[in-house]
Chain A
Amino acid sequence: MKIRLWRVSVMLAIVICLSMNSAWAAEVRGVTDKEIKIAWLTDLSGPGKYAGPPMCDVARDFVAMVNDQGGINGRKINLIIEDNGILPSTTMNAAKKVILKDEVFVIAMNLGSAGSRAILPLCEENKVVVMPHGANKDFYSPGNKWVFVPHTVQFDMAARAVDYILEKNSKARIGMIYQDDDFGREGLAGATAAAAVMKTKLVAQAPYKTGTIDFSPHMTTMKEANVDAIVLWTYLPQSAAIIKQKVKMGWNVDLISNNTTDSPALFALAGEAAEGYMLVTPYAPLHLTNLPGVQRLREMNKKYGNPAKTLDDPAYNSYLYASSYGYLVALAEGLRKAGRDLNPETLIKGLESIKDFDMGGLCPNITFGPKQHVSSFSSMVLKADAKTKRFVIAAPIKEPKITQN
């Protein structure tokens, strides 16, 4: 009898507690009179560890520059860098920490598309604008109110790759090796669409699971289909493995890949064999100092950062530095346009009002809109020069023949 009473009261207490739902205070999280708190989530300790440091370097340099110039609309930026380990579970932990504990206003970068999708419900619930790295389809079609991607759409980059090959040789037989996840499949979709516009199709396709580095079956499939060029929608280790496999097979096939392989590490891994390797990317190589956009970037780095350890070091991954720079520039412009009355809704309006923001040739100009939360569809083609261990521009910034809306 006593126990039953005890149990009933516990139950009652639980039911009462469950039905209570407190509302938070009305002030804007992450924004005060003097500062704006911004989170920067990148991988500092997990599988994508090599990507973390360059992305953090540019964030620090940029924030130093903005704060030095008085901040945005009178508010300085408080940058919180958090390690997200690139995997969805660790990204979730990092996002929870920066939103619930540090109470940031916006997540200016999240490395890892799987992680970005995982934290999206959390961001929506808490009204946090998030800018994931990598324009994957769900982020722009149908798109999401809280997601902005200041980067060229993957789909269109793959299309550009196919366009480029077909421009040089309209009868080229094109094969594709792609990663069996949304990143790779989107590349496949873009390539297929571009081929269809030119009234042809991909003659061979070979997916692989993330992390594989043995490509003998895939390359054999390509060789049997007698392809002239292979589109590689892969990450860096896979591209390097494929180059090695190509040498092993004694087969001199053209390879064109995506922006994630734009790194000096390619030359370290593949050596001489990397000669002639092509890739599609929105960002110009940073050794081209004649471009005004590149000049601005380098000046910022010289004044607020450590050029010897970063952009002037040939082994440094300047592509990551540059592409993260694009994110920061877009966010800063959005914050500026949102004005002094800053809250999540005004930030969204501010970002959406950015039109053709000049990037000085560093990358395509940035444009957002109410229906367009991805900044551009154009990209350029680079070719690897194994002797100087650098990339040179093979074809300039251009939109592919099909443009995804």
Chain B
Amino acid sequence: MANFKVSYRADTALLQNLWVKSWLIIFIVAMLLLPFLLHRYELSILIEMGIAVIGALGLNLLIGYTGQISLGQGAFVAIGAYTSGLLAGTLGLPFLVTLPLSGLMAAGLSLIVGVPSLRLKGLYLALGTLAFGFIVEYIIFHWDLTRGDLGMAVPKIGTQGFFIETERQFFYLIMFFAAIATIVAKNLTRTKIGRSFVAIRDRDTAAEAMGISLAKYKIMAFAVCAFYAGVAGSLMAYYQKWIVPGNFDISLSVAYIAMIVLGGVGSILGSVLGAILITGIPHGIVYLTDALRATYPHLSNLVVDLKLGIFGLIIVLTLLFEPQGLVGIYRRIKVYWKTWPFKY
């Protein structure tokens, strides 16, 4: 029952114990087999979740680990999506080139909020990122290059003969990237960079006094978050094959925030859980209304309307009752389990 480690390596290991390892193996096997068991529709939902996981991971690194508030995640996703659309559509660059470039473009533009973040704290930073989000949306809408409301078509991934077309192929592709994103994020938190982030979150003046360069790490945090968002946006663009500015407005930023709040701020597992749940809720409502359609035909209109309010409600309820989110609940259950029948 005791939980101690005998070597430094064991303490910082990625997979801490047998429990985690076995669950991970089950998960991997499930991911490989699912496309053969599920319908295209369900796969498409899982694909959306995978994309959301990437975005949520980035945001949690910024808000959860570094303590910088960003309300502009939607803008970075948009930058990634449109960069991909433009590079692939007009210049015809292949996917493997456009994906990292989208991330880098988003990371580059994140300097616009990253550099001021050195001076702005909390509230002001939140407003700054919010304004940034609106301005990016305005630019995308009004710039001829991005074709505004007309929308932009995004070509398929692949080269002659081999295209990634079916839901199944997309699923493996997205899961691959989501897995890499998660592993990188988890690793980041184990390194000096991750620890510096947490130090900045907890007491930034003290961190600076201890020699952690605030400038370097704050900008890095924004850049990493934006990179993740850019990648997510790029994948989203390729998957949907058509992007309009309206997809990337403030409601997307709020959705990402809901994901990390629900899952657990400051936790990688939390980002994944939150992303899966928040993406799943609208689809869950659709399933529910379909099932109820026979008995309560008018209820479906009512419930669909609630989509808007449900994210807000989730954020509020989570913050009021379980500020650490699902991960907090999970941790409490774990502790209860471990220390039973003792109370603490």
* CB-based contact A87/B41 at 8 Å: no
Contact flags A105-147 to B (C-beta < 8 A → 1, else 0): 0000000001001101110010000000000000000000000
Residues in chain A near residue B28, CB distance under 8 A: 10
Is B87 an interface position by the 8 A CB rule? Answer: no
Residue A13 at the chain B interface, CB threshold 8 Å: yes
Q: Is the CB of A101 within 8 A of B149?
A: no
Residues of A within 8 A of B307 (CB): 45
Q: How many A-B residue pairs have CB under 8 A?
A: 82
* A18-B172, A117-B151, A181-B148 known; A93-B242 Cβ under 8 A: no
Which residue of A has the minimal Cβ distance to B283?
Answer: A93
Q: In the complex, A87 Cα to B301 Cα: how many Å? A: 16
- The smallest C-beta distance from B264 to any residue of chain A, in angstroms, reads 26
Contact A17 B168 (CB under 8 A): yes
What is the number of residues of chain A that contact chain B, defined by CB distance less than 8 Å?
A: 34
Shortest Cβ distance from residue B138 to the other chain A in the assembled complex, whole angstroms: 9
Residues of B within 8 Å of A121, CB to CB, are 153, 241-242
**Using Cβ atoms and an 8 Å threshold, which residues of chain A touch B166?**
21-22
What class of interface size applies to chain B in its complex with A? 35 or more
A28 contacts chain B at the CB level, 8 A cutoff: no
Complex: A22 Cα to B165 Cα, angstroms: 11
B52 within 8 Å of A by Cβ?
no
Counting chain B CB atoms within 10 Å of each CB, the highest count among A17, A96, A181, A209 belongs to A17
Given contacts A21-B169, A210-B149, contact A118 B240 (CB under 8 A): yes
Q: Find out whether the CB atom of B176 lies under 8 angstroms from the CB atom of A14.
A: yes
Binds A, one of B32-40, B189-197, B209-217, B311-319: B32-40
Most B Cβ at <10 Å: residue of A20, A89, A117, A209: A89
Contact B242 A118, beta carbon cutoff 8 Å:
yes
Shortest Cβ distance from residue A27 to the other chain B in the assembled complex, whole angstroms: 16
Which of B141, B164, B176, B244 is the one whose CB lies under 8 Å from A209? Answer: B141
**Contacting residues, chain B, for A44 (C-beta < 8 A):** 301, 304
Contact yes or no, A88 B244, CB < 8 A: yes
> What 0/1 pattern do residues 1 to 44 of A give for CB contact below 8 A with B?
00000000010011001111110000000000000000000001
Q: Are B151 and A17 closer than 8 Å at their CB atoms?
A: no
B282 touches A117 (CB 8 A): no
B44 at the interface (CB under 8 A from A): yes
**CB pair B151 A114 closer than 8 Å:** yes
Distance between A223 CB and nearest chain B CB, rounded to angstroms: 25
Q: In the assembled complex, which residues on chain B have CB atoms less than 8 Å from the CB atom of A262?
A: none
B242's partner among A117, A125, A182 (CB-CB below 8 A) is: A117
Is B35 touching A17 in the complex (CB atoms < 8 A)?
yes
> A181: which of B149, B168, B247 is its contact (CB, 8 Å)?
B149
Q: Is A225 an interface residue (CB 8 A)?
A: no
Tell yes or no: B150 within 8 A of A by CB.
yes
Chain B residues in 8 Å Cβ range of A92: 240
Q: Which A residues touch B241, using CB under 8 A?
A: 121-122
A114 touches B149 (CB 8 A): yes
Contact with A along B266-289 (1 / 0, CB 8 A): 000000000000000011001000
Chain B residues numbered 188-235 whose CB sits less than 8 Å from any CB in chain A: none
Task: Please encode chain B, from 241 to 276, with 1 for each CB lying within 8 Å of some chain A CB and 0 for all others.
Answer: 110101100000000000000000000000000000
Residue numbers in B under 8 Å from A120 (CB-CB) = 242
In the complex, the answer to whether B169 meets A18 with C-beta atoms within 8 Å is yes
Task: Let me know if A398 is at the binding interface, CB within 8 A.
Answer: no
Q: Is B127 an interface residue (CB 8 A)?
A: no
Cross-chain contact A88 with B32 (CB below 8 angstroms)? no
Q: Which residues on A sit within 8 Å (CB–CB) of B283?
A: 93
Query: Known: A17-B32, A18-B169, A88-B242. Is A96-B44 also a contact (CB below 8 A)?
Result: yes
Contacts of A182 in B (CB 8 A): 149-150
Mask, B138-165, CB within 8 Å of A = 1, is 0001000000111101000000001011
Counting CB contacts under 8 A, is A296 at the interface? Answer: no
Q: Is A340 an interface residue (CB 8 A)?
A: no
- Considering the chains assembled together, what is the distance between the CA atoms of A125 and B162 in angstroms? 16
Q: Say yes or no: B41 contacts A101, CB within 8 Å.
A: yes
- B301 in complex: contacting residue of A10, A83, A97, CB < 8 Å: A83
The 8 closest A-B pairs by CB, nearest first: A100-B41, A101-B41, A181-B149, A121-B241, A45-B304, A45-B305, A118-B242, A100-B40
29 A–B contacts, CB within 8 A, in A order: A10-B28, A13-B32, A14-B172, A17-B32, A17-B35, A17-B168, A17-B169, A18-B164, A18-B173, A19-B162, A21-B165, A21-B166, A22-B166, A22-B168, A44-B301, A83-B301, A83-B304, A85-B304, A88-B151, A88-B244, A89-B246, A100-B39, A100-B40, A100-B41, A101-B39, A118-B151, A118-B244, A125-B165, A182-B149
**Residues on A close to B: CB < 8 A?**
10, 13-14, 17-22, 44-45, 83, 85, 87-89, 92-93, 96-97, 100-101, 114, 117-118, 120-122, 125, 180-182, 209-210
